[in-house]
Structure 1
Amino acid sequence: MEKSLQLVFKNASGSTKLITIANPKEGLTKAQTDEAMQKIIAANVFKTVGGDLVQAVEARVVNRNVEVLE
């Protein structure tokens, strides 16, 4: 099973932007992801077509099963 952490933001123009992190550590809490997202916004290191990231929307863990058919 593949697991990823998706951090969802809004940029200055109101568009939704997604940052995906592969293999996040187990047991992440909402408080931890909220804090990390606020630090990303404050550091202003990501530029998007619609402007800077300005709002944290949500963080979610996505599990994906991949089965190769033979």
Structure 2
Amino acid sequence: MSATLQMRFTNENGGRVTVSVPDPRTDLTGTEVKTAMDNIVAKNVFTSKGGNLVAVDSARIVSRDVTEVTLV
């Protein structure tokens, strides 16, 4: 199973921007994610078509499980 941390931000135009990080630590806490997101906004690490990221919106870990099907 693979997992991706999706961090969502709001940009200057009010749009939503998602930054994805593959294979996050399994023991990652909400506090750690929030701190990282606050730093991303404060230091203008990323920009988007709608301008700089100005606010933290939400975060989630998305898991994906792939099962191969045997064809007979």
Note whether the superposition's TM-score is higher than 0.5. Answer: yes
CA distance in 2: counterparts of 1:52 and 1:63, whole angstroms: 28
Matching of residue 30 in structure 1 with residue 30 in structure 2: yes
- What whole-Å deviation, never above 9, does each CA across 1:12-70 have from its counterpart, x for those lacking one? 00100000000001111111111000000011021111000001011111101122334
More deviation in 12-21 or 25-34? 25-34
**Matched ranges for 1:1-70 at <5 A:** 1-70=1-70
In the superposition, the TM-score normalised over structure 1's length comes to 0.92
Work out the CA distance in 1 between the residues paired with 2:31 and 2:40.
14
Q: % of aligned pairs identical?
A: 36
The two structures have a TM-score, normalised by structure 2, of 0.89
Matched residue count: 70
Q: Which sections of structure 2, spanning at least 5 residues, go unmatched?
A: none
Distance 2:69 2:14 in 1: 41
Q: Which runs of 4+ in 1 moved over 4 A?
A: none
Root mean square deviation, CA, Å? 1.0
